[in-house]
Structure formats: C-alpha cells, structure tokens
C-alpha cells in the first residue's frame, strides 16, 4: 500500500507487545499510523515509537476503525472478544494466542514452512505456540526431504513464556534464595529460581498438559501431516528468556547426518551451531535476542537406525512470538493479501 498501512498492537504493554514495537521499527515495517491498545489499567501509558511518543488506549470494539493489521498478543479471551470487531472494521488480525489456532477456517502459519496458507485467510491468521514454531523451523527442512514419521520432544521453557511478570518473579526469587529467604511464587504456581517443574498448563484426561498437546496438534496442522506421530514433555526451567528443545526424529529410512547438517545450515531462519571439539552447542544465552533458531548436536540415535537427535534454542519472545507475527504481516503485504473475505472463524 502506498504510504504505508495502519497498524494496531493489542497488548502493547506486555513483553511480546514491546518486542512487536521494536521489530516494527528495526525491520522498517511500512507503518503509516500506529495505535497501541491494552487493558484499561494500562491506558494512558506512554510508549516511544520511532520519533513519537504514543499513548496507550483502552481497547474497545470501536478501536479498529481504519486499521489494516492488528497484531494481537493479549490472551485468548481478549482475542475472542475483539477479533470479530476488528475483522468487521476491515482489519486482518494476526493473533498470538491459542484462541483460533485449531479453527479449520483460520490459517496457522510459520512463514518458513507454509506461507501459501496465508492466501486462505478470512480475516484472522493464527500465530503458533512458541515451542511449535521453534521446533517446526528446525525440523521442516528435513521433513521436506524425507517425511518424518515420529517426533519425541522435550522442551526446556524459560520464564518469558509466562510473560514479563514471570521473568521479574524469577529474578526476585533468585535474590530471595541467595539472601537465605523463602521464595514466594505469585505468577507461576511454584518457585522457578534454582528449580524446574513440568509445564503448569492444565492437564487433560490423557495425562498430557495443554502446552504439550499444542505442540502435537499445531505441528500436524502446519506440516499438513495428520498422520505424524508426536509426543511432547514440556518443562519450565529457571532461564529468563529463550526456550530449548531436545528432539528425536524417526524417518522411514536412515537420514545421513551430513545431509541433515547441510539442509539445516541452508535453511531460512535456522543457524547451525556445533563445535564438537569444544563441546559447544546452542544455549539460551546465545539465542536471546536472535532471529534465528539455533540448532546443533545433530547425531545418530544409537537406539534406532532411522532416527536422528538434535538440540535447539530459540528466543521465545522473538521468533517464538513477535517476529513470526511480523513475518506474517510482511507476507501479507508482499502477496497483497490484506483483503478480508467472508469471516467464518469461531469467535
């Protein structure tokens, strides 16, 4: 669009909202006008963008007039409440919550994997879960060459996955423990500093938590591979920012390790990090603030001739959330896909 587009950020004061702002600026996204939306308690806050100081507004159903794209990162209930109003006003919503991810009328997109799905949007595009995005970017280059039969993944998820307040809580807890005091959890259910625990999302009747089932169901949808077998164990760990994942991949036949390294090295959005002599592989501290998913320690599974093991780290706030959303927005502009068709998603 000539002269840029009008953008709204819903959830502008949160950790992902702040990252969205930084990325819009650093990537020179063609913003004509920017509207910052949040809950009433955050209304009136001042946030700088480029050379302007913008005032955060309380979101309402009237907030989306003349808006082209809404970057939503305010939770599933908020997205469900306002998405229809935004689409009715003519905006395309790129939603970071879980509200619409499994809706059959809503594309679930990782631009490095399934950009073609954007052409089918009806006003809402879902941003996948952070762990799903990071894993998908890393393993899809292999899946394209030889379809993956089964994935076994264990995640090591930082406090950033629970938001800025959780990150601050971990820092406070760490200081309390060092002072000989008992840490008091408020945002997370248990102390996370110097501790870890299975992901605290609700457990289903099958024994898997919601976070684990997100990885299972979302990966199948993004890969368009309903027969893919996937099992996940998700764990909260005392890292401030950037998630890690240990992944076992089973193929129909052996996958040469050097070919796997070459494919991952050449893939968009991925960086191979391996120094076998120094035993140096991806770490959260290296992934923090980085766009690429860091992948390494690719090795043959000694228990199965057709399986590979790999390890990754990726910035949960960046590629796991805000960057992926911005890349979707860039995709919409590149392919002239901002026009909204009849909206039939479940809201």
Query: Quick one: tokens of 265?
Result: 């090295």
Q: What is the pLDDT of residue 51?
A: 86
For the stretch 248-258, pLDDT in tens is: 999 999 999 99
- Which domains are present in the chain? 5-128+321-334 (3.40.50.720), 131-316 (3.30.360.10)
Which class for 70: exposed (0-12), middle (13-18), buried (19 or more C-beta within 10 A)?
buried
The residue length of the chain stands at 347
Q: Is residue 2's pLDDT more than 90?
A: no
Active-site entry in 121, 130, 199, 209: 130
Q: What is the pLDDT of residue 338?
A: 87
Q: Is residue 342's pLDDT more than 70?
A: no
Q: Is residue 344's pLDDT more than 80?
A: no
- 209 among known catalytic residues: no
Query: In terms of pTM, does the model score above 0.75?
Result: yes
Average pLDDT over residues 142-165: 95
The CA-based angle 318-293-6, given to 5 degrees, is: 30
For the stretch 293-317, pLDDT in tens is: 999 999 999 999 999 999 999 999 9
Q: What is the pLDDT of residue 1?
A: 40
Active-site entry in 199, 209, 243, 313: 243
- Measured distance CA(331)–CA(294) in Å, rounded: 23
- Helix locations, 45-129, DSSP H: 76-88
For residue 147, the SS3 value is coil
For the stretch 207-264, pLDDT in tens is: 999 999 999 999 999 999 999 999 999 999 999 999 999 999 999 999 999 999 999 9
For residue 11, the SS3 value is coil
- 121 among known catalytic residues: no
Q: Is residue 169's pLDDT more than 50?
A: yes
For the stretch 27-46, pLDDT in tens is: 999 999 999 999 888 888 99
Q: For residue 93, what are the β-bridge partners?
A: 70, 124
Q: What is the pLDDT of residue 339?
A: 73
Average pLDDT score, the chain: 94
């Amino acid at each position: 669009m000539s002269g840029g587009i009008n953008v709204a950020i819903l959830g502008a004061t949160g950790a992902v909202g702040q990252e969205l702002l930084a990325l819009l600026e650093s990537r020179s996204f063609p913003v004509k006008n920017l509207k910052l939306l949040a809950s009433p308690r955050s209304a009136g806050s001042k946030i700088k963008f480029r050379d302007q100081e913008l005032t955060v507004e309380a979101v309402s159903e009237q907030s989306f007039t003349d808006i082209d794209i809404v970057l939503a990162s305010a939770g599933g209930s908020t997205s469900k409440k306002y998405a229809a109003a935004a689409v009715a006003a003519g905006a395309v919503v790129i939603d970071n919550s879980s509200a619409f991810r499994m809706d059959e009328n809503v594309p679930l997109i990782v631009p490095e994997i399934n950009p073609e799905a954007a052409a089918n949007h009806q006003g809402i595009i879902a941003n996948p879960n952070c762990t799903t995005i990071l894993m998908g970017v890393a393993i899809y280059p292999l899946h394209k060459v030889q379809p993956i039969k089964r994935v076994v993944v264990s995640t090591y998820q930082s406090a950033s996955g629970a938001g800025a307040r959780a990150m601050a809580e971990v820092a406070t807890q760490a200081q309390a423990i060092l002072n000989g005091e008992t840490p008091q959890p408020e945002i997370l259910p248990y102390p996370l500093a110097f501790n870890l625990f299975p992901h605290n999302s609700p457990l289903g009747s099958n024994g898997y938590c919601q976070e684990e089932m997100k990885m299972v169901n979302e990966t199948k949808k993004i890969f368009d591979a309903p027969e893919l077998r996937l099992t996940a164990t998700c764990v909260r760990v005392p890292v401030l920012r950037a998630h890690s994942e240990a992944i076992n991949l089973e193929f129909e036949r052996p996958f040469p390790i050097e070919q796997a390294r070459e494919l991952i090295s050449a893939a968009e959005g991925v960086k191979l990090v391996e120094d076998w002599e120094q035993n140096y592989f991806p770490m959260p501290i290296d992934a923090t603030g980085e766009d690429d998913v860091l992948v390494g320690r690719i090795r043959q599974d000694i228990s199965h001739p057709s399986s590979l093991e790999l390890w990754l780290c990726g910035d949960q706030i960046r590629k796991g959330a805000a960057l992926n959303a911005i890349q979707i927005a860039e995709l919409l502009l590149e392919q002239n896909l901002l026009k909204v068709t009849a909206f039939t998603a479940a809201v």
